[in-house]
Amino acid sequence: MNKVNFTYKKEFKIRSYEVGSLKNTSLLSICNYFQEVAGLHAHELNFDIEDLHKKGLTWVLYKMHVNVIRYPLRWETVHVETWPSIGDGFRAYRDYKMTDNNGNVVALGVSQWIVLDINKRRAVKLPDEIKLFGQQVSTHVIEPKGTFDAPVSEMNHLVTTVGNFDLDMNNHPNNVAYINWLTGYIDSELLEKKECIDFQIQYMAEAKLHDQIYLKYTLSENSDGLIVNHSISNKPDGKELAIALSMWR
């Protein structure tokens, strides 16, 4: 049997189209890097999304928590390391660590995944071959948090309509598209050039092609920064597609 690599590491160079007006990369790019290394590692371990599709199954992201120490600059080289672990039989965890060339940590993340029966649209227990490669770990780079509530707000902003380029290999919007809708349409004057330093998301339901996406959010502040409680739905009074809690400063 070939040696199993329980961790996976890949180098990335921040591209010009991934930076904004502050000349550094974005939360979306960091999440995309995390998602990419997760897919590459799963492919190496033979439980990539395409491997699961052959069995009528697929991966679905349930929760993700990202903490950003600093945002890498344009053309900076970063190194992303990831490793999977097993949760309660239905959930698989994956930790992420992004470092710079000096070994300094610039971002951390932990995600929770479930396996879905494609035809029944129902979560199933993790297949044995996935359990085999998942480690039992006592700690994560960020300890998984419990649930949180959607914002209570009368404001409902229509932000976009789901298009073809939003769709992924499961034929529904990519996980990072939800993060874009949740964070990219908050009134810029309220954020005052602040950056997101902590972001938690819980995925609730699938958006579909041509759905209209509505954003709700509320703001509060404490000594650590500006707190945003967000949610998106596919109609003004519809069920939430995702809820999020973030901190900015």
Q: How many CA atoms lie within 13 A of 68 on its CB side?
A: 23
Sequential DSSP letters for 3-31: PP-S-EEEEEE--GGGB-TTSBB-HHHHH
- Tokens 């999977």 — which residue? 84
Instruction: Give the start-to-end residue ranges of the domains of the chain.
Output: 8-133, 157-248
Residue 232 sits at φ, ψ, to 5 deg, of -125, 145
Per-residue pLDDT at 176 = 96
Q: What angle do CA 59, 61, 62 make, to 5 degrees?
A: 125
Per-residue pLDDT at 46 = 81
Residues 6+ apart with CB under 8 A from 222: none
CA distance 109 to 125: 24
* pTM recorded for the entire structure: 0.91
Per-residue pLDDT at 62 = 94
Per-residue pLDDT at 22 = 86
Q: Class of 157-248 per CATH?
A: alpha beta
Per-residue pLDDT at 1 = 45
CA distance 148 to 201: 9
Instruction: Give the pLDDT of the chain (249 residues) as one tens digit per residue.
Output: 456 678 999 999 999 999 988 899 999 999 999 999 999 998 888 888 888 889 899 888 999 999 999 999 999 999 999 998 887 788 889 999 999 999 999 999 999 999 888 888 888 898 877 776 666 677 899 988 888 889 988 889 999 999 999 998 888 899 999 999 999 999 989 888 899 999 999 999 999 999 999 999 999 999 999 999 999 999 876 889 999 999 999
- Indicate the burial class of 196 (C-beta count within 10 angstroms; 0-12, 13-18, 19 or more): buried
Domains 8-133 and 157-248 alike in fold? yes
Q: Class of 8-133 per CATH?
A: alpha beta
